[in-house]
Amino acid sequence: MSDQSVSAPPLAADPATGRPAGPAQAAVLLLASCLSVLGAVLLAPVLPRIQDAFAGTPGVATLTPTVLTVPALVIGLTASITGRIVDRLGRKRLLVGALVVYAFVGTAPLWLSSLPLIVAGRVLVGLTEAAIMTCCTTLLADYFQGPRRERYFGLQTVCTTVAATVFFAVGGLLGSWGWRTPFWLYAVSLPLAFAAARVVWQPPQRTREKLPPLPWRGLLVPVAVTLAGGLVFYVLIVELSYVLDGIGVTSTATIGLVSAVGSLATAVAAALFPRVSRLGPAGTIPAAFVLCGLGILGLALAPSVPVVVLGAVVTGLGNGLMLPALLTWALGELTFAQRGRGTGIWTSALFIGQFAGPLLVLALTGAAGGLSPALLAVGGAALALAVVVRIVRPVRGTGARS
């Protein structure tokens, strides 16, 4: 690989002070990125309790996992639109505003009295998460180039998965005081909004009457693989509590602890991503799908808690490699004026996959007669996809342009 210290452009600088982007900006963006994980995993340990609380609601078996996954659907449907807004109007104002609104819509289930209203409130959570995720990822790509960008993409996954580890455990503990209690944590976005207003700066925008077109030929395959990756990624988050429930584990604290172990494995793999990124997406992405596939197969066949933990760890390792590898591949050749839309499209694909994952598992469960054969099918599909991606041999995706 050529010496990127010679060819890589300099770090982006604050137009008001001339100071280059650094740890302060990265820290705020990485912490704000954790909010989408908060929305995804915090409620996983209490899903069975929510279903019990609204047992008389028609369609409760479908609506209950939707409480967890509908924000992902909204992100998937709107992130590409958000990306266009980001490229056209700028990053910072949208980020700060979305962080403020997130706190109010996130805590709404504390006083909502019906499951359909809670699902509707989660739609609004998804809208704010789409803006936050697109802005944070785009700004990281704006501020940093080359190996620094890869490092921060890996750290983004590390931070989100460490946060998920904490949120799984905290969600399980708070859930023991009532299924509504975990929703209080959504207020954490308010101090992040204040920090973003103080620390984050808007990169200089070039005046354009028309945005340049996206390189669809190089973007479609990474986006398609990301769609499948989102489906596989969410299986551990959503289905683990049901796997444990199926072998007799009903304590939300225990479910949260096991979920946290799997999430910690995701953080470890993401932390190692900068070391293995030299293999390129052609190596890291198939490895991620192999690990996920083997782990999900383990969850499908697990007869006891230790085997469930092992399956969760292996799946978590695959998840930790998957996201930074897919993101590096998708954004590697995009320019500044394309990056917001590219990030939005990638985020849409990821979260549409995450929303569809539990619904697909539910459909497979009904068709196959149980959760175990459904997970066997998903695990086998992940292994097959690893072979397909290896045959496609994606480009490295590290030669990003400024």
pLDDT along the chain (402 residues), means of 10: 42 68 86 80 75 82 79 82 78 90 90 87 90 88 78 79 73 77 88 92 65 76 89 83 83 78 84 80 89 94 90 92 85 73 83 81 87 92 91 57 42
Instruction: Please tell me the distance from the alpha carbon of residue 128 to that of residue 103, in angstroms, as a whole number.
Output: 10
Does residue 287 belong to any structural domain of this protein? Answer: yes
Which tokens sit at 187? 């207020």
Count up the domains in the chain and report the number. 1
Does residue 210 belong to any structural domain of this protein? Answer: no
Which tokens sit at 59? 């369609």
Does residue 94 belong to any structural domain of this protein? Answer: yes
Does residue 18 belong to any structural domain of this protein? Answer: no
Domain that holds residue 261: 23-203+215-392
Closest CA to 223 of 135, 129, 341, 127: 341
Closest CA to 315 of 346, 280, 357, 348: 357
- Report how far apart, in Å, the C-alpha atoms of 162 and of each of 155, 222, 329 are: 10, 26, 23
Specify the residue for token string 């609506």.
63
Cβ contacts of 313 within 8 Å, gap of 6 or more: 261, 262, 265, 295
pLDDT of residue 192: 93
Q: What CATH code is carried by the domain that includes residue 344? A: 1.20.1250.20
Look at the pTM and tell me if it is higher than 0.85. Answer: no
Which tokens sit at 139? 């700004």
Does residue 400 belong to any structural domain of this protein? Answer: no
CB 21 within 8 A of CB 200: no
Does residue 9 belong to any structural domain of this protein? Answer: no
Does residue 286 belong to any structural domain of this protein? Answer: yes
Does residue 8 belong to any structural domain of this protein? Answer: no
